[in-house]
Amino acid sequence: MTYSNPNLKEESLIPAHGGYRQLKSYQSSEIVFDLTKIFCQRFLEPINRSNSTSRTYRQIEQMVQAARSGKQNIAEGSMASGTSKKTELKLMGVARASLEELLLDYEDFLRIKGIEKWGKDHLLAREVRGLAYKTNRTYKTYEKFLTDSETFANALICLIHQANYLLDQQLRSLSESFLEKGGFTERLYFERKKRKI
């Protein structure tokens, strides 16, 4: 995975890192986070707002936190990659696990409400997937799908699958690169060895 931080050269001891905002996985997870907040406000907000210990409030907090964790761990892992590929791998794995947890929440929502879950060949699911190729996507790109709880939840399920797919590819690439090139410790060792010669 190549990151672009203009302050660091590729040949330096600490290689270029950061640039997470250009990662498709980050962009997708940011949209998932934004839409999850809207979904929870619109469809899970308890009638009695004074009862902040209600089960619904806990569910909202957990869903928003899982969505946030997906996004934030990609950013943190990307920034840590310059000095610790192991940390980057770990945090990308945490992001992937958080989004999987969120996926289950949306699937549970549909199942409990008796709402149909779209198959991958559903016309609207294909339409949601097609929007991934648009440039400068934001949550507003998906406004058409925010009309009712069935369409909204199913669209989010599609988006989470896309983000998870991207993270799986990223994790595979990072693992292969780590096994092949090592991390900061190995680079430090070889740099010291070079200077002793």
Report how far residue 54's alpha carbon sits from residue 124's, in angstroms, rounded to the nearest whole number: 34
Enumerate the domain spans of the chain: 21-192
The position carrying tokens 């640039």 is: 19
Q: State the average pLDDT over residues 66-89.
A: 90
pLDDT > 70: what percent of the chain?
77
Helix/strand/coil for 53: coil
Angle CA 119–31–26, to nearest 5: 105
pLDDT > 90: what percent of the chain?
64
**127 pLDDT more than 80:** yes
Element (H, E) at 133: none
First to last CA, the chain: 32
Helix/strand/coil for 156: helix
Helix/strand/coil for 37: helix
pLDDT digits (tens, 9 = 90+) for 149-160: 999 999 999 999
Report how far residue 90's alpha carbon sits from residue 84's, in angstroms, rounded to the nearest whole number: 10
**Tokens at residue 179, please?**
């096994």
**10 pLDDT more than 50:** no
Q: DSSP letter string over 76-143?
A: HHHHHTTT-HHHHHHHHHHHHHHHHHHHHHHHHHHHHHTPPPPPTT-HHHHHHHHGGGSTT--GGGGG
Q: What's the predicted TM-score (pTM) here?
A: 0.80
Residue 111 pLDDT grade (very low, low, confident, very high; cuts 50, 70, 90): very high
Report how far residue 184's alpha carbon sits from residue 77's, in angstroms, rounded to the nearest whole number: 14
pLDDT digits (tens, 9 = 90+) for 139-149: 999 999 999 99
Angle CA 140–141–144, to nearest 5: 85
Q: Which residues are CB-neighbours of 30 under 8 A, at least 6 positions away?
A: 71
Q: What is the DSSP letter of 121?
A: T
